[in-house]
């Protein structure tokens, strides 16, 4: 059985990726932090589509939780390893920097940047030993362009983009690829407070994207078909920023 871990996999873009990934023959590990109901729903949807999966609860921003949960999984699956990792978990705490408190900065950095580090480090050794792996990091238009009111989020996502390019060079010889996907405005819980009617005029394709459109790109990068692509950032933003 082949295993893929999707952090923040219980809803939104993470759910769409989890559902799409079963087409590649993976058993999906659905990571979530607290929303058991959404995680159960995603697992049910995977099974309805003929796939298999399981829930894996931990907070990506907590290194002890990450290490203990993944170490226990590895102990229980000594003949297998997680060969695909999608670092999707993320949070936003938008506000102008002049009003930003320390926790608004640190919470976003901890989940979006440090979470990438903790989870990737925990899985990397087994990918290198087996000489095969796919790491796909979900970044953002904010990390490429920067957006006002998102200094914290933009900083975190830009840092993951830099880490993606560096790690790709470190481990390419072991046949482990590292790429990033940068969504623009996508219809999810994370963007429900945004006014699509106002913002879509800025987008050449004149609409917000769908989680499934991001998932298609992620699954391509996670597949064997993308074997000669590494260190890249692919935008899925309707032409908003190129």
Mean pLDDT, rounded, of the chain: 97
pLDDT value for 185: 95
Looking at the predicted structure, is the pLDDT value of residue 190 above 90?
no
Looking at the predicted structure, is the pLDDT value of residue 194 above 90?
no
Torsion angle, alpha carbons of 92, 95, 107, 144, to 10:
60
pLDDT value for 191: 84
Compute the average pLDDT of residues 128-152: 97
153 is annotated as an active-site residue: yes
List, as one string, the DSSP characters of 197-223. HHHGGGSTT-S-B-HHHHHHHHHHHTS
- Confidence class for position 239, pLDDT limits 50, 70, 90: very high
Tracing tokens 């979900």 back to the chain, one arrives at 138
Give the C-alpha separation, 53 to 48, whole Å. 11
Looking at the predicted structure, is the pLDDT value of residue 192 above 90?
no
pTM higher than the cut 0.95: yes
Looking at the predicted structure, is the pLDDT value of residue 187 above 90?
yes
List 32, 153, 228, 241, catalytic entry? 153
145-169 pLDDT per residue, tens: 999 999 999 999 999 999 999 999 9
Q: Which fold has domain 2-236?
A: Rossmann fold (3.40.50)
Nearest to 86 by CA among 135, 133, 47: 135
Lowest average pLDDT, out of 133-137, 185-189, 206-210, 225-229, goes to: 185-189
Q: Where are the domains of the chain?
A: 2-236
187: number of Cβ within 10 Å: 17
17-69 pLDDT per residue, tens: 999 999 999 999 999 999 999 999 999 999 999 999 999 999 999 999 999 99
Contact by Cβ (8 Å): 85, 113:
no
What's the 3-state SS for 219-238? HHHCCHHHCCCCCCEEEECC
pLDDT value for 207: 96
Cα→Cα distances 41→9, 37, 173, 214, 216, Å: 11, 6, 39, 20, 21
- Confidence class for position 193, pLDDT limits 50, 70, 90: confident
Q: Which two tokens stand for residue 189?
A: 């819980």
């Amino acid at each position: 059985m082949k295993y893929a871990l999707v952090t923040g996999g219980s809803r939104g873009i993470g759910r769409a990726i989890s559902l799409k990934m079963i087409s590649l023959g993976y058993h999906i590990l659905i990571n979530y932090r607290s929303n058991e109901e959404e995680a159960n729903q995603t697992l049910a949807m995977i099974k309805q589509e003929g796939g298999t999966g399981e829930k894996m609860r931990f907070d990506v921003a907590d290194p002890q939780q990450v290490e203990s949960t993944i170490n226990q999984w590895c102990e229980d699956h000594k003949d297998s390893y997680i060969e695909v990792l999608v670092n999707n978990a993320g949070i936003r705490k938008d506000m102008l920097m002049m009003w930003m408190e320390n926790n608004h900065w640190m919470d976003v950095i901890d989940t979006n940047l440090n979470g990438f580090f903790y989870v990737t480090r925990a899985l990397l050794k087994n990918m290198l030993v087996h000489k095969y792996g796919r790491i796909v990091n979900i970044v953002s238009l904010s990390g490429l362009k920067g957006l006002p009111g998102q200094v914290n989020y933009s900083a975190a996502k830009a840092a993951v983009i830099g880490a993606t390019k560096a790690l790709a060079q470190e481990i390419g010889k072991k046949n482990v690829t590292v790429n990033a996907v940068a969504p623009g405005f996508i219809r999810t819980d994370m963007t429900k407070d945004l006014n699509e009617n106002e913002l879509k005029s800025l987008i050449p394709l004149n609409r917000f994207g769908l989680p499934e459109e991001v998932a298609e790109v992620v699954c391509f990068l996670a597949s064997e078909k993308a074997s000669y692509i590494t260190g890249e950032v692919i935008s899925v933003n309707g032409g908003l920023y190129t």
